[in-house]
Structure formats: structure tokens, C-alpha cells
Structure 1
Amino acid sequence: MGEVFFYHLTRRPLESMLPALLDRARGADWRIELRGTDGGRMRWLDDLLWTARKDSFLPHGLAGGADDAQQPVLLTVAGQAAANAPHCLICVDGAPLAAEEAGAVARACVIFDGGDGAAVSHARAQWKDLVGAGCAAQYWSEDSGTWEMKAESG
């Protein structure tokens, strides 16, 4: 089964840490699906990724374009198929992640806002479901100011 990393945001918002996470995944030569739950939010993240780095370019696109299959990073909304055959699936804003999907990629990530009680509860339920289905999982927190692994399944 797949490996799932849970990232608990406590110090920085998603828009601050997401470009660095995408850069690391791209550094592994992975194609990435960035999955959200709301089209407007994904368009906002698309705009953000165009301007997030002043000194570099993060190639990406919104799902539904002619070149989806070639996109290194493809932004989707839950229910859309990722045409780029991703190695890494990153779920934000409570986007669903099935154990079968986690097993089909090199890594899946769940990023959730620690200041949002509903998001924390949803991430806990996802952890329980995914670990129960046999996925290996790690929980990472930035409470100390740097990312530290706080828990690991199995």
C-alpha cells in the first residue's frame, strides 16, 4: 500500500509552504496532482503558483486544459481525473483520498490547517481510514518551527 504524509499546518498558511513542497516533489522528478475541493480555490492556488517564486518557475496547470497529460503539476478538484499520471498526490482543503489512490502513487500527502477544528477532525478520520486500510502513514507538525515527524503508523 501507499505511503501517506500528513502535514499539520500550525505556523504558516498553505500558500506559504505549498511551493516548497511542490519543489521537493518535482526534485524527485515526480508528476504531481494537487487536489482540492473547490474550483475557485484551485484557481486561486493556480494564480499563487505563478507568482510564488520571484527567481524560479513552477510549471503547472489547472485540469481541463489541452496539455493536462504533460503537466508536471496538475491542479484538480475532487472527482476530476488527473491526466498527468501522477507519482505524488497532494490533497488540500479536506479533499478525499482513498487507500487505493494512495497505493497507486509513490507518495500521497494530506495538508490540513491546525487552526480549523473541522479540518483537524477530518484529517484524523482520514488517518484512521487509511491506516486501517493498510497504508503506511506519517504525521508531520511544524509546532517547533521546523517540520518534525511526530507519529508513524505500524
Structure 2
Amino acid sequence: MTEVLFYHLTESRLEQALPDLLEKSLARGWRVVVQCSSAERRDALDNHLWIYREDSFLPHGSDVESSGELQPILLTVDAAQRANAPHVRFLVDGAVPDTLTDYVRAVYLFDGHDGEQLETARARWKVEKAAGHAVTYWQQTEEGRWVKKA
């Protein structure tokens, strides 16, 4: 059974929230795949992760490169991409996986101001719960902290 977390972005954008969550995953020794809904989004996140903060570095690459299996964080648009043997799968902007079996954790990050992403998250909650995964819902406070709501 995979632990599936739904993170409802209400006070920050994905570009602000994702790097901190990726850092926490790497600190646990986990390899990560980040599934995006489009190649444009993947490429934008790839660029952002190089410059998001001057005092930090997130080792990563994208599935466009041939070294995907070496990347601690691999950005992709492929629902089945597992070249880097990830422990965690992040799903952003409404991306949907082929399966979440064999992951330690999966994280859906969705924009609370985007109706389509909200609908996708609600539908995926039902799918993941029916699949027997342990699902939890987290929402941001006004300060940007995460609070477990369900």
C-alpha cells in the first residue's frame, strides 16, 4: 500500500512549494520522479529548480536527457516513467499516473484556484482510496504551512 498525500495549494504557487517538498524527500534518502502534465511545464520546472534559491541545489534532470537513471529527481511527462527507480512520485498540474503500486509515497500537488485541477484531485482521491492506498489531505494555512485536514 502506498501512502498518497494530496497537497492543496491555496497560499503559494507550485514553484514555491515543490522545492521544499523535494528537499525533504531527498533528506530521507528517497529518489523522486515528478510527473508534469506537459513538456512545457516540465521544462519550466527544470529551469526553476536550478535557480529557485541561491543557497541551495537540487540535483535533478529530465527525461529528455539520457542520464535519467542517475538522477535523484527526474522530471517527466510519462505516466510510467521510473528510470531512476523512485521511491516517491509527485504529480503536478493535474498529471495522472499509470499506477502508484510499489511507491513508498505519492504526492498530488494541485492549485486551489484552478477548477480543473480541483476536479482532477477529487477524482484521484476516489481512485486512490478505492485502490486501498492510505490517503490524506493537506491544505495550506495563510502562513503557507501544511495542515492535515483529512
Q: TM-score when scaled to structure 2?
A: 0.95
Q: Name 2:148's counterpart in structure 1.
A: 149
- Encode CA deviations 1:35-82: one digit per residue, 9 max, x unaligned: 011001100000000001201211000113221111000000034522
Q: 1:71, 1:14 → 2: CA distance?
A: 21
- In the alignment, is the contact (CA less than 8 A) between 1:3 and 1:136 conserved in 2? yes
Q: Distance in 2 between matches of 1:108 and 1:56?
A: 24
Report if aligned partners of 1:78, 1:96 keep a CA contact under 8 Å in 2: no
1:132 to 127, 130, 133: 130
CA distance in 2, matches of 1:138, 1:85: 24
Moved over 4 A (4+): none
Deviation at 1:90, TM superposition (A): 0.2
User: 1:120 aligns to what?
Assistant: 118
Letter in 2 for 1:66: S
Question: Are the aligned partners of 1:3 and 1:103 in contact in 2 as well (CA < 8 Å)?
Answer: no
Partner of 2:46: 46
Percent identity over the alignment is: 43
> Which ranges of structure 1 fall in alignment gaps of 5 or more residues?
none
- CA distance in 2 between counterparts of 1:55 and 1:74 reads 21
| Number of residue equivalences | 149
5+ residue gaps, structure 2: none
Which amino acid is 1:133 matched to?
A
Residue number in structure 1 paired with 2:59? 59
Q: Any idea what SS the aligned residue of 1:56 has?
A: coil
TM-superposed deviation, 1:144: 4.3
- 1:147 and 1:25 map into 2 onto residues whose CA distance is 16
Look up the SS of the partner of 2:109 in the other structure.
strand
Contact 1:23–1:58 (CA under 8 A) maintained in structure 2: yes
Displacement of 1:121 in angstroms is: 1.0
1:121 partner letter: E
1:137 and 1:79 mapped to 2: Cα distance? 20
